[in-house]
Amino acid sequence: MNWINIHTETLRAPEFIGAEPIERATWLCLLGYCVAQENGGLIMGCNEWKDRQWQQLCGVTLAEVKTPSRLYNFTGKNASSLTVNFYPAEQEASCHASRVNGKKGGRPPKKANSQPVDNKREKPSHNLGVNLDHNLDITLKESKGKESKGKESKVKKSNNKVAALPFLSYEFSHAWNEWQTYLKQKRKTPTELTTKKQINQLKKLNEKDAIETINRSIQNGWQGLFPSDGKDSKLTGRANSGSSRGDSSAGEGISVPLL
């Protein structure tokens, strides 16, 4: 992504308001690096980076990154990775969906003006490229209603926005970022609609159950979210036996399709 989409609620979150100015500046630089890399807000294997490498890649010093903060913190085994909180995961999913839609179709080829030019009354315009674009726009407007639905679905881009996260706490934001990173590592790219459905699914739970649902799916290697019904053994069996291929994507939750 070439831009950072920071939700206004983030700037009013206790983690941001309670942070020192140096923490906010460090968080913004780290967030910019993660957005450019589209890494889900997780910088993996960076605990061995030297001070110069931090400056060259992220524009921060090692001492600034090591400063304890609720905006970013080292996680993982032996604290080998750095998690940047409040990463716009929904915007990353939206960008991925737009790229997929762009590969399915593109702008129709330009059509030359079919009307003959009367050499006796008017001369060809020197701005031939501009005139062709103008005529093309008119042709596209006239033929828009005649195009088939199948063709429109290939060219038309979705304007649906991914739903906002249901909880704004640090704990839920951290769990959601780990879920997005987990899917990316499994090479399961969620569609915009799937991400929206999963967020709406978590809205029906309280924050504690929503976090447990995410952690359970990561721990069991599932590619979908399966809220607990109080019968974990039954749920685990259904999730493990629902696929003839032996994968763990079955169940009653919302799974992530492979694109």
Domain boundaries along the sequence of the chain:
8-84, 164-255
In a structure prediction context, what are the per-residue pLDDT tens digits for the chain, which is 259 residues long? 888 888 898 998 999 999 999 999 999 999 999 999 999 989 988 988 999 999 999 999 999 999 999 999 998 878 889 999 999 988 888 888 888 888 877 565 666 665 655 555 555 444 445 454 555 555 555 555 555 555 555 444 444 455 688 888 999 999 989 988 988 888 877 788 888 888 888 888 999 999 999 999 998 888 888 888 765 444 443 344 333 334 444 334 666 554 4
Helix, strand, coil content of the chain in percent (nearest 5): 50, 5, 40
What distance in Å separates the CA atoms of residue 156 and residue 231, rounded to the nearest whole number? 44
pTM of the model: 0.40
Residue type, 42: L
